[in-house]
Amino acid sequence: MAAARSAIHDASDRAVKPLSAYRAALERKKEQQRQEAERKKAEQSQRQQRRAEGKQQTKEQGRTPTKEPGQKPAKKQPTKQRQTTRGRDRGRGGPDLSR
């Protein structure tokens, strides 16, 4: 009877081992993901802080105006319009044969 019981316990130990290894691997993976998320969060906050500092600097310095006060903005040059085909010729490559 005792031999049978010890055999059962040995079998149950063997059955538990892979599960515990799986759990350990899962724990390691979770820990790694947590550390990765923490690192990303720290980088993000650092980036945000640098950006805020840069904004503050430009605010303190005051941006130089691109144009003199009272000066009108330059007008854009009109772009040349392509002559469009009319009538039955529209949408086809050939000459207008309606004439």
| Chain segment 31-42, per-residue pLDDT in tens | 999 999 999 999
d(CA 52, CA 60): 12
Query: If we measure between CA atoms, which residue out of 98, 67, 76 comes closest to residue 85?
Result: 98
Percentage of the chain modeled with pLDDT above 70 = 56
Instruction: Specify whether the CB–CB gap between 36 and 43 falls below 8 A.
Output: no
Q: What is the pTM of this model?
A: 0.38
Query: If we measure between CA atoms, which residue out of 75, 95, 77, 79 comes closest to residue 87?
Result: 95
Choice between 20 and 13, residue whose per-residue pLDDT is larger: 20
Q: Phi and psi (nearest 5°) for 26? A: -65, -45
Choice between 87 and 51, residue whose per-residue pLDDT is larger: 51
| pLDDT tier, 79 (very low <50, low <70, confident <90, very high otherwise) | confident
